[in-house]
Structures are given as C-alpha cells and as structure tokens.
Structure 1
Amino acid sequence: MNSELTRWTGPEGLPRFDLISDQDFAPAFDQELAAAEAAQEAIAANPAPATFENTIAALETAELGLGRVLSIFYTVAAVDSNAARQALQRDFAPRLAAYGSRTSMDPRLFERVRHVASDMADLRPQDRRITELALRDMTRSGAGLTGGARKRMAEIRSRMAVLTTEFTQNVLTDEREYALPVADDQLGGLPDWLIRAMRSAAAERGHDGQVMTLNRSLIVPFLEHASDRSLRETVFHAWTARGTGNGAGGADSNNLPIAAEILALRHERARLLGYADFASYKLAPEMAGNADRVEALLGQVWQAATARARQDQARLTELLHEDGRNGALEPWDWRFYAERLRRREHDFDVSQVKPYLGLDAMLGAVFDVANRLYGLEFAPLEAQLWAPDIRAWRVTRDGKLMAIFVGDYFARPGKRSGAWCSSLQPQHKIGKGQRAIVVNVCNFTPPEAPGAQAFLSWDDARTLFHEFGHATHHILSDVDWPSISGTSVAQDFVELPSQLYEHWLEQPEVLDRHARHFQTGEVLPADLRDRLIAAGNADAGFATTEYLESALVDLAFHRGEPPQDILARQNQILEALAAPAAIPMRHAAPHFAHVFAGDSYASGYYSYMWSEVMDADAFAAFEETGNIFDGATAKRLEQSILSRGGSAPAEELWLAFRERMPGVEALLKGRGLA
C-alpha cells in the first residue's frame, strides 16, 4: 500500500497528492477496511465488561485510518472525476455499506454500548454526549432488529449505496458531456467577461469559438444577459434535463427510476424502525423534530414569497411585451427581465461590480472578517494538492496553529457542480490531538489565462463567504472526539454558521475596505455599493420561491407512501402549492443531489431556511451592540456554537448564545419580504 494515503507527509501534515495515483486507492481501501473491521471485532468480542474506554472511546479510533484514505479519495472523486475513480466509487460503495451494516447492527457491540449508556453519571459531558449519540445512531441503524428485519435492513443499506452513487455519477456525466457551441451572432447582450469565460471553456474542451457548459457560474449570468431568447430556452432545457435521460449523457443517465427506488427503500427502512415514514424518521433527531413544524415555517415564508413573486411576474411580463413578444413569461425569461428591471429601478448592472470583485480581493475580505471576529490569521502554504490552481493557508491565532485551510475555486471538466465545504481531517484531542484540514470547493469561472486575475459575480462572492462560514465551524472546533467535531451537528443547524457569515459581505465597512478595482485600486464607489446592496433583494420573490418549491417537494416526497412516478408526484405537489409556472424548482428531482446523492439533506433541504431564521437573529445580536465586529458577541458565538461542534444538542447551543428561540420576522425582513 502507498503509505502516503494514511501517513501524510506534506507540509503541516497535508497529503502529497502528487505521490498518489488512482491505482493506489484500491489496495489502501482494502487494507484500511480490514483494519477497521478488525478493530470493531476486537471491541465487540472483548471479554472484559464494557466501559467507556474499551467501547465508546475505542469506537472513536477504530476507523481513523480508513477515514484518511476515504477523505482523499472522495475529495478527488468529486473535484476531478474520471472513469477510474467512478469505477472505484461503484466498487467501494456497497462494500462500505456492508461494513456499516455489520458494525452498526452488531448485537454484541449494541449490547456493550447500551451497557455503558445505562450508567453515565461519572462520565464527562462530552463523553456522555458521544455515548448517547452512539446508542442513538445504532438504534436508528437497526441494531435492535432481529431475524428477517435485520437481514432486510442490511440489504436496503447496501442497495442504497449503489443507487446514490449512480445518481451522482449520472448528473456528473450530463454536466461533463454538455458543451453547446455558441456562434458569434448569438452573443448579443452578453458581457465581455462572460464571452471570455465561454471561450476559455471551449478551448479547455478542444473547441473553437465559445461554448456554453452546465457550470452554474456560466448558466445563471447567461440567462440574465443573453438577448437571444431561443438560445436561452435551449440552454435552460439542457440545464433542467440533467438526470432525466434526455441530457447529454443520454438514456444511461436517467435518474428517475433510481430516485423512485431510493424513496421506496427509505420508506421501507423507516417502517422497519417503527416510523410512519422517512420524514418522521429523519426529523426525529433534528431541531425541527417533526414535519409539521417544518411545514409551518415554510408555509409562513411561502405566502410572503409567492405574493412578491406574482407581483414581480406581472411587471416582468410587461417588459416581455414591450419587446414585442406576446404570451406568458417563461422560465428562461425570468432572469433576463429581472436583470433588466434591476438595472432600470436601481440603475445597477451586475457587470459594473465585477471589476471590483477579484477573487484575491474577496478572499482578503473573507480573511479580514475572520481576523476581526475571531483573531484568525492566514499565511499562504505551498503544498502539492490535486490541481495546480488549488491554494492552501496556515490558520493561526496568537501564533498557535488552528487549522489548515484549502481552497479549490475554479470550475473544471469532471468537477461536481455547486459548492461545498468538507474536511480532509477533523479536529480532535485523541492522543496528541490534531487540527482540522478544511476544504472549500466552488465552481467559479477561471481566469482567462493562468496567473491572471479571476473575477466573481455578486452571487459568487456570497458563495465564497457562505462556504467559509462552514470552514469557521471546523477551524474553531475545540472538542475531544472526532464524531462531534466541526460540522457534526443536527442537519438543520449546520447551515447557521455559513449563512451567518454571508451577512458580513453586505456591510459597507467590509466592501469599502476590500472591493477595489483590479486595475486602478479604486474603492467600489459608495453610490454603486449602495445600489448593489439595495438591488440585493430585488428578485427575492423568485429566489425564495424556487428554493421553497424544492424544500416542500423534498418533504412531501418523504411523507406517506413513496411515489412510483417521480415527475408526476413532483408536478402534483407544485400544482397543490399553486406554484408560479415561470419559477421552476431550484433543484428538480432528476438532479436533486442534495436529496438523492445521500441521506444528509433528504427530507432536510428545508434546513437552509430553518438555519436562516437563526442566522438573521444571530446577526441581529451583533447589530444590537452597534458594532458588527463586537468582540464580546463574537467570543460568545465561538464559545457557545462554533467551538462546540455537536457536543450538545443544537437547541442547547443556540440558547447558550441567544437565550431565546428566534421568530421568522428577521428572516422576512432580511429578504425584503416583510
């Protein structure tokens, strides 16, 4: 086995990706999976009475080697997919599921965990917490099942691992294979920076001229600016065809039967465990607790959002008719006319701002906010990572190493779309302890040439802040055990730090310091800055409605009996909501990776808004002091939430910070929907 996969030898303990090949993963996986199985067997078969040390603490270390191999593999499989890595994913997934079933459902291990959990009076709070979670997770995994039910649960988990992998790979195939040539006479309305990005995308794929890909950082501005309506329609249909079997990957990339089977298996799993449906099972350990509370929150916002959206739709339809086009406003029209309305009402064009939003400048803003809030300092770190344009930083405070931060910011063929935060290794205090190695991944448009300046849209800048908000959860983590480190919290609590961090992007104090013209160094003019911020909620009805459609469809998919016809059920839900036809779901079922690429956000896509209720109230805590960088409030946020990971229930952590539960009013006000 290539030892670099487990004994990382790069600077500050990073892996040396240049020393790892695709051929190294299978032997390393085989060895570390066997080691993890042996460690689990030793714990389960231990003849000594179960104690916290020989059972719960031992479980925390049983998979550390396997975790290191998988963290490298799944990182590169997501950011730089190829045929070999996809084949390995298909091989690893069912084997990991089988291993997970054997260990989490082992009756010997379950009995030992129950024994420790039966008397926790002398345990420290964090030790008690991971014991409670171990018992809860084994119970929810089916450890208490017997006979045929136990066997069926293991079969379900194995099959789910295969299906979720196939779903992800099908979407990625459709995205990777699509490249639409765009002729010079079809470029009307497109800003120069977007045309250059389309030409770079063409060159990257060996084409002349310019192409449109399914990279969201290209799709959205294209739909906002392209004056060729038929081309907008073509691109929109390609974007929404991902995973339908009608995308660039053809019939082999059809996710509809896969999604239907996933829903059926989730429902069966929930019923085996005594729950009415998967939503009841999934929401039981979350802050929300049950689907009725989720629907009540989403319903309040839905009424305000769709009322605003219908007002906006009428105004945008007038603009459509002004162009001599009869008929209804279509989904591929909305962003185009919304951008025209924004320019008209706010005298604001997004292209005016882009020269002030260089990636380096915005990273400076991200790091400055972290310094002023938490005293963090960032120094570039030279390291051999998975692509030449990946960057790394040492994160310190008062000279002490806090974490390593890695940024992978640019779109490339084979990279999964979207943006996310993950960790190559979590923070913990086992043995000598370790600090987090945290990774932010985005899909921004690359610079025109290597070493040239890269520019962000306003939405890109918001994404940059959002993902770094997740990173603060890892960087500031200060817990004993890896299972409760960083973002290992309730799903509807995990988006709080990320969405909270977005607020600082909009502050004049931050923009005046960092948003500078890439050529002149001139600060973003105050009037342009104010128009930018004022225009921020100009299309809030659309943005909120498209999100809520996805969240409500996700929840409905997992309540009651699972649908057999996914698209028919999706359309039925939207019809019952009286959803505006011109506003499609942000993520339709065939490419809804949040829900079908794994269980994390299944019946949990609502969590972004659940967290937003809290993040609006959390930022208000800073505003109430008269100082958005108030040190005492930042310290209380760190000590109550960011440093504590999952060491206590989410509601307890929130109340330690704010001392009361929030209402929806701050969210509606922040979105301009009040």
Structure 2
Amino acid sequence: MTENPFFKPSTLAYELPPFAEIREEHYLPAFERGMAEQLAEIGEITANPEPPTFENTLIALERSGALLRRVRVVFENQSSADTTPGVDGVDAEISPRLAAHRDAIHLDAALFARIEELYERRAELGLDQESLRLLERRHTAFVRAGARLDADRQHRLRGLNAELATASAVFRQNVAADSKARALVVDSAEELAGLSPDEVAAAAENGRALGHDGKYVLSLKNFSNQSELASLTDRSVRERLLAASLGRAVATNGPLAIRMSALRAERARLLGYDTHAAYVVADETAGSVDAVDALLARLVPPAVANARREAAELAKLAAADGIEEIAAHDWAYYSEQVRQSSYQVDAGALRPYFELERVLRDGVFFAANLAYGVTFTERTDLVAYHPDVRVFEVFEEDGGSLGLFLGDFHARASKRGGAWMDELVTQSGLLGQRPVVYNNLNVARPAPGEPVLLSWDEVRTLFHEFGHALHGLFSDVRYPYFAGTDVPRDFVEFPSQVNEMWMVRPEVLANYARHHVTGEPLPTELVERMAAAEGFGQGFRTVEYLAAALLDWAWHSVPEGQEVADAEEFEAAALAKAGLAVAAIPPRYRTAYFSHIFSGGYSAGYYAYIWSEVLDAETVDWFERNGRSVRESGEVFRRELLSRGDSRDALDSFRAVVGRDPQPGPLLARRGLA
C-alpha cells in the first residue's frame, strides 16, 4: 500500500496528521510496517560491532519507531473519540500484537546487555543531567519489564501481557457498548421536570441523533452519579437513571475484572513484587504501598464523618417529601435543594453565564495568557479528525510559534465517556518536533441554533483538561521519552488540578462568566455562595472518590493465588473493610465500568488524584502568597515544572517551585478534613 499516509512524516504544520487522507484500512498495514521497522532498527543497534555508547544505543533507541508512533497516536485517538465497528476490530487484533512488540524490545537480551553495560559505567560517561536520567530511566524500564528474568519466566510474561492487552480492549469496548445501550430514554419532557430548558432541548436532540425521534435521551457519563440527578424532580426517573449507570457491563466486565486482577497479580509475583499495587507504586512518587495506605487511611474517617453530617441535612428536606431514608438516587437532588435553601445557589441558574465559546476564549485561553503569556489563533485551514474538532495555533508572548491545540468538546455516539488529553505529536529537541495536543470532553450538543451552556462542573473539567494540554504544550526536553505528561502517574494530575484555580480567580471569572443573552456578569455574591455550597458537598465528593480509589487498591492488592469468586461481592467487601460502605454514596466508578484501572493505565493508580491534590493545594497556596505577580509566578511554574516533563525527578521540580517538600495541610483544609 504505497499511498498509506502514515508511511511518511506529515508535511502539514507541526506534523499534524493528514486526517483528510486517513482511512480505516490504513491502520493495520501501518501498524505492521511500523512494528517491523522498529524491530529492524533495534536489530541495527544490537548488531553494531562497536562497543555500546550513549549515541549508538540510547539515542538510536529514542529515534526508533517513528512510523509506529505516527499510527499509534492517531489510532488510539480515533478508538476513543470516534470509533466504528471496523476500528474496534482493529483494536481487538492489534492490542495483543502491540503488547508482544513491546515485549520483543524490552526482553531483547542483546539490547538490554548494551544498556546495562552503559548503566554500570554511567559515572564515567560524562553525560549531562538529562542524558544521565534517560539512561537510568530506560534501564529501570527494562528491568521492570522483565529483562532480567530467565527464558521460561519471560515466556510466561509475554503470555500474561498479551492476554491483559486483549482483555483491556474488550473491557473498554464493553463499557462503551453498554453505556450506549443503557442510555435513559423517556417519552415526554414532563419526565425531565427540573432540568433547564436547554438541557431538555439537548436531550431531545440527543434522542434524534440516536434514532429515538420524538423521545428524550440522557446518555450516560462514565462516572456513577449522573449530573442530571441533581435536578430531576421525578424520583422514579432519578432511580432509573442511577440504576442504568450502576448496572453497566456487570455481566461482561465483572468476570473480566477478576481475570485481569489475577493476571496482574501473577505478573507482579513473576517480577518480584508481592502484589500489582506494590509493583506499580514502586516507580511512582509515593514510593511504597505503606505511603499510599497511610494517606488514604488518614482521609477516610473525617470524610465519612463529613458525609454523615451532610446526610443529616439532606434528611430534613427529604422528610418533608415523605422520604424516610435518603437513597443514592436522592443524594444529589437534595444536596441541590440544600444549596438553594441554605446558600441560595441554583446550579441551573448558573448555566446561562457559562457559554462554551466564551468560557474557552475569555476564560481558559485568557488565563493561559495571564499566567504564561501565550495566545491562540484558530486555524480553520487545518483539518482535524472529526468535523466537531477545532484547531488552534499557540504562540509565545514574543510571537514565536509553540504548537497546536485541538479541542473536541461535544458528546457523540462514537465517543467514549469522560474527558481526557493526549498528544498527536510529542515535543522533542532531539527529533525537532513541536507539540500537537488535544482535549476531549463530552458536553451535550444543544438543539440547532441554541448556545452551548456549561454546568459548573463542566467548566471545571474544561480548565482541568486544559491544564494537561499546557503540560504537553510547554514541554521543553531533548528526549521524547521525557516529554510533556510522560511523568509518574501520581504526578500527572497535579498540573491539571492547579489549572482549575483559574476558573474562580476574580480577574478570570469576571472576564468569562457573563450571561449569554444580557451580557451581565455573574454576580460576585453568587460566586461566594457557590464556594460556600461547595464546602457543604465535600463529604460526598471525598467519600465518592475514596471509595473508587480504595476499590482500585483492593483489586490490585490481591496476591497471586487468591481466588475471587464474584466481582460485586468483592467490591462490597472491599468497601466495607475500608470503612466506606455508605449505601447512599456509590463509588465514583464501580468495578464493571472502572475504565481508568482496567483499560486506561491507572491500575493501582487511581489514588493519584488525591496524591496529586496535595501538591496542587500547596501550589495554589504558593501562587497566592509568594509575592510575585501572576505572570512572574506563571513563568516560574512553567520553567521549573511544566517544561521539564520527566527529565528530572518530579518532586525535585515541585521543590524548585514551592521551595520545600509537600505538606498535606492545604489539602485537608480545602476538603474540610483538617
């Protein structure tokens, strides 16, 4: 296939993939040639008769696999953001083959021998800091991938990795299919009483798009408690919506989660660790199982106590409606009633102030300019991977070009739930590449001609994901291995959480939060009341999160050989043991649709959000109290942390900004857990 667009580098700006030329039939041949080319490149490294040097081994390894990376990043994006049955089929076929390909590299004895020889002589090589770190991190990666195992154990390891890769793809596809199948369909607008007019119109438009003309469809977000639960006045509709959410993929993914947990436990033991959790955390900033256990255990009791206090407030309002006991489908609804009665905050009344285009340009982009000096220009001449997707060129304060940002904000049937950031081109000084990054959200599409209005949480998500985008855009490293967001899993959420602070900074909020019809600014007192109301909900949010984090931790603390008979029973027992069996607060993700940990790279790592929030809370405090201007503080944060990727120890980058080791005090205060 000589016309395959992946076979040569893109000639578009910043090497943006030529999406207008890419078709499904291009993927498999490009994967196959890309894997073959990289293995041939590895063969040239190992066949080199010269003694190993940093240049002929590590640099050559960094340069290898260009074609494979070009096709992989585009395919992974489409399989998440705009999948088809054909793409799903390629995903199922290629996932185990890619796992085998990675093993072929990491378990190549000749290649590892060259790296190990360099590692043993590293003090004599005269390497600069980033090059020395590349050698050390590559060596660690090979060891953790099984390079020191004997032939029999390596054979078993290959089998485990292949089966896990297949299972991960199946898990992901099961969640997507069942989330789509379980979308709540109602016959009349009356059943959606409590939702705002634009939300009802969006549900009607969603119904039309999904083939339910004349009906209203609430598609499921990837988390448990659907956002509409806060507004729907019909209790039976709330119950149906939450039941649809909590029941996703139980029959298919429950057994699959058991199998994946067992495979990961066996692999961990093979590699010399007691559990998969121990294996994962050994290479994160937390460093040990005990450190994670200590943080989570410290948070659970005060979080549950907060939630119980909140439940008592909710019960007073529910009793007036004849409800004797708050159920899970009631919690968000009566929380909203408390916000309205006690704090005079109506979440629905905020939406007219958060029009997507204004939030993006006058909020997200404005804050990035305020802190970092960058500007954004839309490039309508560049074609993205879907008509919904917008392309922006990013410029430095002095006018120099930085990279491209792609925004894909709307939900559609072909897109998985949730929100995420990734890269299409990774920054690298060695390869002369500048970053191309994208954000995906799942904002409901309004009726034709109507504005796109966001909820408070959707505004937060937009700022959060853009924090990841800035991490990728500001990357300034030599080696692609270290670029952008390729940092420890329990550090990667930190910059994105920091970026959430701009959402409520007075100078930013005043710039974007304006009524989409009248242009009136969001009243200051409403913002203050919203902040107070958010404090009320911290018990629920913390328990919901901790339940998911400890559920992940439980699945991946199962040692090899311990059998799990039933996924739902295991889940219930794990939550009870952790002190989080709060019936009215289901985990943010239940096992069967916990894609973060069974198909998304967060296995034994969902604790990362709260671990990163310790750093985030400290950094927000630093921004406010360090005595510098916003622009000066932003420059320090960019230079010392956002630009560094993993080219130096992540906590060293944190210390270079804040000036000391992280402390949990600001986080505990923020969460009401002090």
TM-score (norm 2): 0.96
CA–CA distance in structure 2, aligned partners of residues 625 and 209 of structure 1:
55
Q: Do residues 396 (structure 1) and 395 (structure 2) align?
A: yes
CA separation of 1:453/1:8 partners in 2, compared to 1, >3 Å: closer, same or farther? Answer: farther
Q: After superposition, what is the alpha-carbon deviation per residue over 1:184-221, rounded to whole angstroms, capped at 9, x for unaligned?
A: 23122222121111101101012122122213699733
Query: 1:621 matched to which residue of 2?
Result: 622
- Tell me which residue corresponds to 1:578: 579
Q: Residues 10 and 384 of structure 1 are in contact (CA less than 8 Å); yes or no, is this contact kept in structure 2? A: no
Amino acid at match of 1:350: A
Deviates more, 1:201-210 or 1:522-531: 522-531
Change (3 A) 1:9 1:452: farther
| Alpha-carbon contact 1:176-1:414 (below 8 Å) kept | no
Q: After TM superposition, list the pairs within 5 Å mapping 1:118-157 onto structure 2.
A: 118-121=120-123, 122-157=126-161
SS at match of 1:492: helix
Specify the alignment match of 1:249 in structure 2.
Answer: none
Partners of 1:414 and 1:131 in 2: how far apart? 41
Question: 1:204-283 to 2 correspondence within 5 Å?
Answer: 204-207=209-212, 208-215=214-221, 220-245=226-251, 254-283=252-281
Matched AA of 1:666: P
Q: Does 1:471 align with 2:469?
A: yes
Give yes or no for contact 1:506–1:533 (8 Å, CA) kept in 2. no
Provide the aligned C-alpha RMSD in A. Answer: 1.6
8 Å CA contact retained: 1:216, 1:443 = no
| Deviation of 1:12 (Å) | 4.1
Out of 346, 349, 362, the residue aligned to residue 346 of structure 2 is: 349
Structure 1: segments with no counterpart, 5+ residues: 246-253
Please, which moves more after superposition, 552-561 or 211-220? 211-220
Q: Is the 8 A contact 2:220 2:226 kept in 1?
A: no
Q: Please say if 1:454 is aligned against 2:466.
A: no
**2:337 counterpart letter in structure 1:** R
Could you give the per-residue CA deviations for residues 556-589 of structure 1, whole angstroms, max 9, x where no partner exists?
Answer: 2222425523222211111123322110100111
Q: Deviations over 1:46-86 (max 9, x none)?
A: 22211111111111111121001111111111111110000
Alpha-carbon shift at residue 524 of structure 1 (Å): 1.2
- Distance (whole Å) between structure 2 residues aligned to residue 632 and residue 190 of structure 1: 43
- Whichever residue aligns with residue 143 of structure 1, its letter is A
Partner of 1:523: 521
Q: Pick the aligned partner of 1:7 from 4, 9, 15.
A: 9
Structure 1 counterpart of 2:589: 587
Indicate conservation of the 8 Å contact 1:553/1:573, yes or no.
yes
Q: Residue 190 of structure 1 corresponds to which residue in structure 2?
A: 195
Q: Residue 557 of structure 1 aligns with which residue? A: 555
Aligned to 2:183: 179
- The corresponding residue for 1:108 is 110
Aligned mates of 1:197, 1:281 — CA distance in 2: 45
Normalised TM-score (structure 1): 0.96
The reply to whether residue 170 of structure 1 matches residue 174 of structure 2 is: yes
Structure 1 position 11, deviation (Å)? 4.0
User: CA offsets per residue over residues 612-631 of structure 1, 9 Å max, x none?
Assistant: 0010000111111366x523
* CA deviation profile, 1:125-170 (whole Å, cap 9, x unmatched): 1111111111100000001001311110111111111011110010
**Which of 194-203 and 554-563 deviates more?**
554-563
Aligned twin of 1:158: 162
Aligned ranges for residues 503-518 of structure 1 at < 5 Å?
A: 503-518=501-516
Conserved in 1, the CA contact under 8 Å of 2:476 and 2:644? yes
Aligned to 2:359: 362
Distance 1:473 1:515 in 2: 25
SS at match of 1:129: helix
* C-alpha spacing 1:217/1:654, structure 2 compared with 1 (3 Å): closer
Of 309, 329, 332 in structure 1, the residue corresponding to residue 329 of structure 2 is 332
Greater mean alpha carbon deviation, residues 561-570 or residues 155-164 = 561-570
- Does structure 2 retain, via aligned residues, the 8 Å contact 1:263–1:563? no
Matched, 1:32 2:34: yes
Give the distance between the partners of 1:635 and 1:405, measured in 2 at CA. Answer: 20
Are 1:277 and 1:560, in contact at CA under 8 Å, matched by a contact in 2?
Answer: yes
> Bigger CA drift: 188-197 or 269-278?
188-197
Contact (CA 8 Å) 1:218, 1:445: kept in 2 or not?
no
What is the identity percentage for the equivalent residue pairs of Structure 1 and Structure 2?
A: 37
Deviates more, 1:65-74 or 1:565-574: 565-574
Is the partner of 1:403 in helix, strand or coil?
strand
Partner of 1:251: none
Per-residue CA deviation, residues 350-371 of structure 1 (Å, 9 max, x unaligned), is 1111111011111121111111
1:378 match: secondary structure: strand
Q: What is the DSSP-based 3-state SS (H/G/I as helix, E as strand, rest coil) of the residue aligned with 2:149?
A: coil
What secondary structure is seen at the aligned counterpart in 1 of 2:429?
A: coil
Where 1:348 maps in the other structure, the secondary structure is coil
1 CA distance for matches of 2:287 and 2:14?
Answer: 41
Partners of 2:399 and 2:572 in 1: CA distance: 56
Q: Post-superposition shift, 1:19?
A: 1.4
Give 2:543's aligned amino acid.
T
AA partner of residue 59 (structure 1): L
Task: State how 1:361-510 maps to structure 2 within 5 Å.
Answer: 361-364=358-361, 365-382=363-380, 383-397=382-396, 398-431=398-431, 433-449=432-448, 452-510=450-508
Give the aligned residue type for 1:363: L
Q: Show the counterpart of 1:250.
A: none
Deviations 1:332-354 (A, max 9, x none): 11001111111111111011111
For residue 226 of structure 2, give the secondary structure of its aligned residue in structure 1.
helix
Please give the alpha-carbon distance, in whole angstroms, between the structure 2 residues aligned to 1:532 and 1:95: 50
CA distances 1:18-59 after superposition (whole Å, capped 9, x unpaired) = 211111111211211211111112112222211111111111
Q: Secondary structure at the match of 2:122?
A: coil
The one-letter code matched in structure 1 to 2:574 is: I
Q: Secondary structure at the match of 1:494?
A: helix
Superimposed CA distance per residue, residues 365-406 of structure 1 (whole angstroms, 9 cap, x where no aligned partner): 111111111111111112211221211111110111111000
Is the 8 Å Cα contact of residues 28 and 69 (structure 1) preserved in structure 2?
A: yes
Q: Deviations over 1:61-113 (max 9, x none)?
A: 11121001111111111111110000000111111111111110111111000
Give the superposition deviation at 1:638.
1.3
Superimposed CA distance per residue, residues 468-498 of structure 1 (whole angstroms, 9 cap, x where no aligned partner):
1111111111000111000111111111100
Question: Which is further off, 471-480 or 631-640?
Answer: 631-640
Alpha-carbon offset, residue 529 of structure 1? 2.3
Any idea what SS the aligned residue of 2:10 has? coil
Match of 2:89 in 1: 87
For each residue in 1:287-338, what CA deviation from the matched residue of structure 2 results, as whole angstroms up to 9, or x when unmatched? 1111111121122222221111001112212222110123x21111100111
Matches of 1:563 and 1:482 in 2, distance apart? 41
Measure, in 2, the Cα distance between the counterparts of 1:595 and 1:672: 27
By how many angstroms is 1:181 displaced? 2.3
The alignment partner of 2:490 has SS state of coil
Distance in 2 separating the partners of 1:550 and 1:465: 23
For these two proteins, the number of residue pairs brought into alignment is 661
Q: Please say if residues 540 and 673 of structure 1, whose CA atoms lie closer than 8 Å, have aligned partners that are also in contact.
A: no
Q: Give the 3-state SS of the residue equivalent to 1:495 in structure 2.
A: helix
Contact 1:426/1:437 (CA < 8 Å) preserved in 2? yes
Q: Matches of 1:462 and 1:641 in 2, distance apart?
A: 22
The corresponding residue for 1:16 is 18
User: Is the contact between residue 14 and residue 403 of structure 2 (CA under 8 Å) also seen in structure 1?
Assistant: no
1:201 aligns with 2:206: yes
In 1, are the aligned partners of 2:226 and 2:245 still within 8 Å (CA)? Answer: no
Q: 1:219 to 1:551 in 2, by over 3 A?
A: closer
